[in-house]
Structures are given as C-alpha cells and as structure tokens.
Structure 1
Amino acid sequence: MADEVQALTKAFSGLGGLGVDEPTMVAALANWRRQPEKRSGFRRSFPGLFKEQGVIERCEDEYMLRLAAEFSRFKNLMVLWAMHPWERDARLAHHVLHQAHPAAILVEVACTRSAEELLGARKAYMALFHHSLEEDVAYRAKDKPYCSLLVGLVSAYRYEGPKVSDDTAKAEAKALGAAVKGAAGGRLVENEEVVRILTTRSKPHLVQTFKYYKELHGKHIQEDLGSEEALREAVRCLATPERYFSQVMAAALREGADHHGKEALARVAVTRSDVDMDAIRAAYQEQFGAKLEDAVAGSAHGHFKDAIVSLIVGK
C-alpha cells in the first residue's frame, strides 16, 4: 500500500509544474475501489493537500484551485489546438486586452504572423467581439507608453518579398542609432521614427537594418533598448522568432514560473507546431544545451506532457 500511496502522491505533486499524472490517478480509481482506508492513508500522507480537522482530512481551498488549474491545462491545450488559427489569435489578443495578460503576447501575435495571418486575426476579432483589434488596443493601452507601438504592430500589413534596399536599411540603422543616443533617459518606445520603422518595414528589411546597426555601433540593437521590454519583444519577434520562442518555452519550464509563464508552453507548442518548431528546437538546443522535448518530458506531467511533446517532435 505504501508504494501505491507514494505513486499517487507523486501524481498529484505535478501541481507545482505543468499538468498532473492522469493515468496514475485513473488507475487508483479502479484499484482502490471499496478501499476507503487507502484513500484515508493517502490523505494523511499528503499534508500539502489535506489538513487534519477533527475526524476528517480537509482539502485545502488553495490547493483545490491549483488542482483544478492543473487538470485544465490539457483541456485548454486541446481547445487552442482545435481552433482556426485566426480565431485562436483573436482570442489570445482579446485575453491580453481584457484579462490582464502580458502585453508581450499581443506583440508576439502581431510580429510573428504573416501579413495574411494577422489580417485574418483582425477579421476574426471583429466578427467575434464587434470591435476592431486596433480600436481595442488604442483604448485599452491608451495610458501606456507603448500604445502607439502596439497599435502600429497590430495594424501592420508588411511586404513579404525578399527585396531590401541596402541604402534605406543603412539610413534607418543610423536613424535608430540617433534615436538611442538622443533618448537620454527618455522612452524610445515613444519615438516616432523608431515606431515607424518597426511597424512598417518588412522582416527581411529589419534583419538587414539590425545587421547594419550592429556594424555601426558594435552591438545588437537589443542591447541598447535597456528596460523597454515592449521594444525588445518586438525586435526579437521580428528578427529572430525561433530564438524568442525557445526562450519563452525555457521560461515556462523553469522552476517557479508564474501562471502566465506556464501558459506559454501550450500556446507556443500549438501556434508554432506547423510553422517553425524545428527551428525553435534547434535554437533551444543551441541556447540551453538540451533537447526541448527532453526538457518538457522532465517538467510536465500526464496527458498534457504527451500532447506537448507530440506537438514539438511531430509524432
């Protein structure tokens, strides 16, 4: 009985991580049928979840909420997976704007989708919520310094061809350098020239512009953006999305990751599985010296773990 209790306790202990070990729990339902003494022994051996109160072991309210959240991870992943990509992005954006989710998710959606995908998400947003995405961003972020940047990013319809003007890229690298130099403690995210370049230029053009910036100034532009997180997120998503997503997944798998951080694991796995997951896996290996699927297998649990690994490796 001790081994069975230990196995079940371990299954529930996924609560600090990502998902729970559902198969072990299901087995306990069958194996412990008509054996209330086993369930009582489990409750007494798991004081983190149950607290003795008189003649019963009471389930802690906070732990009940956490348990419900862990069971919901697999459900939420499957809902995301089943949605049309345009609706999925529209709902992700709506959650950011109406439920205090990190603004970085909106930057992610705006900067890593193709022009047609972002247009589709805007159409879906209008159909679902009867407002334009741009309208809601402008209203909800009106008091934020990054408001103009966000409105520009979600409104973008970028050229996606390969042509890049070297002269223009060099000139805009100089303009970005001048903006950084002239900021002098002010907010770069409110600089009209910086916002214009990031919200209108094609991604190949921006990659070339950032290359010239590094040649001119000796370091990547991200290093000059300081604590301006919205700008840093936009630059990473536009120029090196595979490295951005590998870092997001690493943060989700880190011990002590917060609720939003953990949610990112399913979001990235679902939204990038058919797009650039192989590149993300390669970037993760390069940055962290381990296979992404192995890191997930070591941190996640149950059906949630199996689903994430399947999306990552494509099997």
Structure 2
Amino acid sequence: MGDISHDFEAVTKAFSGFGVDEISLISTLGKWHHEERKSFRKGAPQFFTEDDRLFERWNDGHIAQLQIEFLRFKNAMVLWTMHPWERDARLLKEALTKGPESYRLLIEVACTRSSEELFGARRAYHSLFDHSMEEDVAYHINGPERKLFVALVSSYRYEGQRVNDATAKSEAKTLGAAIKNANKKKPIEDEEVVRILATRSKLHLKAIFRHYKEMCGKNIDEDLEADLILKDTVQCLCIPQTYFSKVLDASVEASADENAKEALTRVIVTRADVDMKEINEEHLSRYGYTLSDMLEDRANGNFKDFLHALVARGG
C-alpha cells in the first residue's frame, strides 16, 4: 500500500498547480491497472464526484482547468518564438476582447516598451487585424480611462538624455494639484495628467516624480492607491521591476483567477531578455524568495522547466 499511496500523491501533485508533471503522469498512470485507477478516483474528491449511478466521474470544472494547465507549456513556447511585435499585438488584441480585468496588459505594452518597440507593435497590429491599435482601444474602452489608453498606445516618446528640470518641477506641481483635488475631478480625466504621462520621456517623468516626492513627501504611486490604472501606469513607466514583481507574485496566489494566472507566462516570456535580473532582485527583496523558488513550489513539468530557463537568462 505504501507504493500506491506514494503514486497517488505523485499524481495528485502532477495534476495540481501550474502546468502538469508529464513525466510523473506517464510513469505512474501508465502502470496502473483498473483497481488502482478506481482507488485513486475514490480517494481524490478534489478531482472526482460520485455520480448518482454510483461511479466516480471527473469534476467538470477540473477538466476545464486541466485543459488550461496542459496548454500552458504550448502557449509559453508559442509566445516565446513569436516576433516581439506580433506578440505584443496579439496580447493586446486578446486583452481588449476580455474586458476591463485585462486592461493592465495594455498599460504594460504601452509603457514598458521602447518607442520603436511600441511602433513595431502598432505596425504588427495593422498587419494582423486590419485595424489600428488606437482605433480598437478607442472602440472597446468606454470608461474615463479611454483618453489615457489611446494616448499611451499612440505615444512615440523622446528617448534622449535631455531633461528640462524647470518644466519637470512645474509638471510635478500639476500632477500634485490633480491628485489633491481628486474628490472634485478624477486625475485620470485631467487632460494635463494624460498629456504628461503619455508624452514625456521616461527620464523626464523620473525627474517629475522626484520633484513630486520633494513637494508632497510621498512617491507619486503611493498617492495613487485610489486609482490603480494611474498607479500601474506610473510604475510601468519608471519602476517596471516593482510592477512586474507584484504581478508575478499575485499570479500564484491561491485566490488568483485565470486572468491573473496568465501573467506568470506573459511576464516571464516578455521580460526574459529585458530586465528579468532586476525583476528577480526586486521580487526577492519584496517577498523574501526568488522567482525560481516560486516556480519550484507552484509549477510542474515542462512548463516549470521552460520558465526556469527563461528566468535563468537574467543571471
């Protein structure tokens, strides 16, 4: 009974978490006879329900979840081998069709890519969908965030070293006033806030946010807790490693929905060649364990091994 108990544990673990442990499933399930499979079904109520005709049937919800888990490795491989422009275009298109819970992906693409990368994603979007990215964003998004999102995806920021410190200080005051008066008018609806966040270079924005902290005593993202869209925008523009480490940790929480879980693949694939080392360091500092530790604890099989390999690229 000891061996079969160990097998049951192995299969239960292989079916749990992100991805599936293909090798464990093949080596264990392949040798089980009818009675062993029956015993497993009776002993795994998290997977099986006893039917009113007295047989153990798969829980429909878990079948649907397993289908997702078996696909995680395939989806990660497909995303990794895509041209980055196509990848961003397809990710953004999917986010628009899913609704508001996926709009933070739009912020990621618009704010963490270089001007050339974002321009390339817009070109790919044209080619793939016969629409412009801007027109689809404007069509699908009807809330107060529409102007900001259209402006962000339309942006082509200056990437040189020049920063006008006097202008940065003045715009820090503008942002401070908008946030202070949020009870009268939401900052996301303020045209000057949208202009500053959507057009200024990232170096200029860092200067603005430095002046903001000197004037207001807090980092600007700390003052934006009531407006998560602006908070995510600010972090993606200037401290993406903070934003991505938080998204990754949220993706493996027990309460995470499928939309949050998908971020595990998306973030690791899209940042592996960019700033994975910085994200990993931030994650370790913030949560006390590395991304590799997180994957070892929560992921399975080929999916886990592939993400491990991408995280390791960051050094």
Deviation at 1:8, TM superposition (A): 4.2
Distance 1:3 1:140 in 2: 55
Question: In the aligned structure 1, how far is the partner of 2:140 from the partner of 2:205?
Answer: 28
| Closer/same/farther in 2, CA of residues 255 and 108 from structure 1, 3 Å limit | same
1:255 corresponding residue in structure 2: 254
* 2:30 aligned counterpart, secondary structure: helix
CA contact (8 A) 2:11 2:28 kept: no
Q: Which residue of 2 aligns with 1:127?
A: 127
How many matched pairs? 312
Deviation of 1:181 (Å): 2.4
Partner deviation per Cα, 1:225-275 (whole Å, 9 max, x = no partner): 232111111000001001111111111122221111111000001000000
Contact 1:169–1:212 (CA under 8 A) maintained in structure 2: yes
2:228 is aligned with what amino acid? E
Distance in 2, matches of 1:292 and 1:150, equals 30
1:224 deviation in Å?
Answer: 2.1
- The 5 Å alignment of 1:95-110 reads 95-100=94-99, 101-110=101-110
Partner of 1:26: 26
- Counterpart for residue 40 of structure 2: 42
What CA distance in whole angstroms lies between the structure 2 residues aligned with 1:252 and 1:93? Answer: 19
1:15 and 1:258 map into 2 onto residues whose CA distance is 17
1:54-133 to structure 2, matched below 5 A, reads 54-100=53-99, 101-133=101-133
Shift in alpha-carbon separation, 1:218–1:14, aligned structure 2, 3 A: farther
In structure 2, give the amino acid aligned to 1:111: C
Q: Identify the range of structure 1 (258-267 vs 3-12) with the bigger mean alpha-carbon deviation.
A: 3-12
Report the counterpart of residue 288 of structure 2 in structure 1: 289
Q: State the shift of 1:123 in Å.
A: 0.5
User: For the Cα contact (< 8 Å) 1:50–1:60, is it kept in 2?
Assistant: yes
Any stretches of 5+ residues in structure 1 without a counterpart?
Answer: none
Higher mean C-alpha displacement, 48-57 vs 196-205: 48-57
| Cα distance change on mapping 1:14 and 1:162 into 2, 3 Å | farther
Alignment TM-score, normalising by the size of structure 1: 0.94
Deviation at 1:71, TM superposition (A): 1.1
Listed as ranges, the gaps of 5+ residues in structure 2 are none
The residue type paired with residue 102 of structure 2 is: P
1:156-167 → structure 2 map (5 Å cutoff): 156-167=155-166
SS of the residue aligned with 1:255? coil
Counterpart position of 2:182: 183
Aligned residue number for residue 303 of structure 1: 302
Aligned-CA RMSD value: 1.7
Name the counterpart of 1:205: 204
Cα offset, 1:55, TM superposition: 4.9
Instruction: Quote the Cα distance in structure 2 between the aligned partners of 1:120 and 1:7.
Output: 50
Distance in 1 (CA, whole Å) between partners of 2:44 and 2:150 is: 49
The answer (yes or no) to whether the contact 2:48–2:56 under 8 Å persists in 1 is yes
Q: 1:29 to 1:14 in 2, by over 3 A?
A: closer
Any runs of at least 4 consecutive aligned residues in structure 1 with deviations exceeding 4 A, and if so which?
13-16
- 8 Å CA contact 1:8–1:25 kept in 2: the answer is no
Query: What corresponds to 1:231 in structure 2?
Result: 230
